């Protein structure tokens, strides 16, 4: 089983490294592309919720969100029902990057699973979901 953890770590590192290299020119390196995807995919998410969802330290999340704001990809909104709540809102520039981000995600999955049959891909998806659920608890 130690190889399982190493394999999962390798997948995470390769995904991040390739993505950082690919999106560096758009100022979305240092895993900022992952944050932007989550913000776009989770309307109304707050910084605290984003940090929890990504399993990162709140201070790390703060620095990354500040960079996304400075680069014009995200703004902090104001919740009409709760003035203290500051949801993260993707800008038009942020939303414009989304097709490129999802294409990267699709490509990295295709690269990683190209030797697997559709049935094996389904089993892998199911098993990884179980592992992730166990680790979230």
Q: Structural domain tally of the chain?
A: 1
Give per-residue pLDDT as tens, 48-107: 999 999 999 999 999 999 999 999 999 999 988 888 899 999 999 999 999 999 999 999
- In-domain check, residue 9: yes
The pTM for the full model equals 0.90
Alpha carbons 39 and 47: distance in angstroms, whole number: 9
- In-domain check, residue 92: yes
- In-domain check, residue 110: no
Nearest to 79 by CA among 106, 114, 46: 46
Nearest to 39 by CA among 3, 7, 86: 86
CATH number at residue 50: 1.10.10.10
- In-domain check, residue 127: no
Domain that holds residue 84: 2-97
């Amino acid at each position: 089983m130690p190889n399982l953890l190493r394999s999962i770590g390798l997948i995470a590192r390769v995904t991040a490294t390739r993505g950082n290299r690919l999106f560096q020119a758009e100022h979305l390196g240092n895993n900022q592309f992952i944050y932007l995807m989550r913000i776009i995919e989770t309307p109304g998410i707050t910084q605290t919720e984003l940090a929890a969802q990504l399993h990162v330290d709140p201070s790390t999340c703060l620095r990354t969100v500040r960079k996304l704001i400075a680069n014009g990809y995200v703004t902090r909104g104001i919740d009409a029902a709760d003035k203290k709540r500051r949801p993260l809102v993707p800008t038009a520039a942020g939303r414009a990057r989304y097709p490129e981000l999802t294409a990267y995600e699709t490509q990295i999955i295709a690269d990683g699973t190209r030797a697997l049959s559709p049935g094996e891909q389904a089993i892998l998806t199911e098993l990884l979901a179980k592992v992730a659920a166990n680790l979230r608890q």
